[in-house]
Chains A and B, each alone.
Chain A
């Protein structure tokens, strides 16, 4: 909760200290999500996201800062699993990126995303109910790279790849007889987003 409050404060601060360039938007879209780990065999899964964002600070003619708050679904499916078992994560995320604008209708972006885990659910054919999963880290950090299209339109499109740079799991690796043979700490979120953005306000 402290994490979310801090990020909301940061987000609001950036919005209210806006310079001559200020553009705010809502966004929603599709996510293809998976994890990257040597210890867990997985397949990707589709999720969705929704959020608010803006460009509160223009650094120069071709660079500007972008901040967002989103509610994002992530997760993965276990491979070769008869019971179709899968984990769904629910995150509040706060990506902060720098946008480079080579053309008026197109921009490239790069930055960081910090995410707070709200909930994690295990789903399986074996059970009727979703099951709360407490095993995973309650925050995540990712590197962001993406591109935005038709930025001069009210409705525009954004694609983004986020690669987790922090393991969301720390868990002992057990051998057959129950000895701990190491620690699993290489489980990183990977998400690819295709998002529709709608500009709500523009002051430029």
Chain B
């Protein structure tokens, strides 16, 4: 009977202990409610995700949580007083389709990287007047929606983390509608001036 116990303990170690021993981190951390999306966080994980017409879309880096692996580019179009926040290309799960998401914001008062904190805790309606959201695979911009830049963290004068949530609806001229729901992002940002 003692050998039976030893076998049970061995079986336990094989089945349960192996999980601990084979620990390996990947940068995708799942949302606890919808595990197809990334978790909402505010610490520069370099991740973004959303449901596009119900299909999970994820943009995350395989190289970690540093500035060099960031998923967000903020482009300042100085002459037009416009900034564009672009989330780098991500994949729709179980599909080969890849696309990026872009927010066009007008008159934010951000003219340099040092002024990016003006966007902190800013909720913007994405109804096209004046702000909008769009998909790289669609021609039109959103007519309904919201971008909420919940938190910007200044690491130093050159490095910032931007975190927030979004959702918007785009209707193409053909009548096809794209619903981009439950969006979230948490990434270091690259800043460019055009």
Contacts and interface: CB of A to CB of B under 8 A. Distances in A.
Interface of A: 26, 28-29, 39-40, 47-50, 71, 73, 78, 81-83, 85, 87-88, 90, 118-119, 121-122, 124, 126-127, 129-136, 154-155, 169, 171-179, 184, 187, 196, 198
Interface of B: 1-2, 5, 8-9, 11-12, 15-16, 19-20, 22-26, 28-30, 32-33, 35-36, 39-40, 93-94, 145-148, 164-168, 179, 181-184
A198 B5 contact: yes
Contact of A28 (B8, B30, B33, B181): B8
A174 B2 CA distance: 53
Contacts of A50: 9, 12, 16
Contacts of B164: 178
Given A178-B183, A179-B146, A81 B35 contact: yes
Contact of A133 (B5, B16, B30, B147): B30
Chain B CB count within 10 A is highest, among A26, A134, A135, A155, for A135
B29 A135 contact: yes
Given A28-B5, A83-B36, A83-B94, 8 more contacts: A87-B32, A118-B20, A124-B30, A131-B26, A135-B29, A176-B179, A178-B165, A198-B2
Contacts of A124: 30, 35
A134 B168 CA distance: 29
Given A71-B16, A177-B146, A178-B184, A169 B8 contact: no
B1 A155 contact: yes
Contact of B167 (A122, A178, A198): A178
Contact of B9 (A28, A90, A132): A28
B30 A85 contact: yes
B91 to A, nearest CB: 10
A48 B33 contact: no
B169 to A, nearest CB: 9
Contact of A40 (B20, B25, B33): B33
Contacts of B9: 28, 50
Contacts of B29: 122, 131-135
A90 to B, nearest CB: 6
Nearest to B14: A48
A66 to B, nearest CB: 20
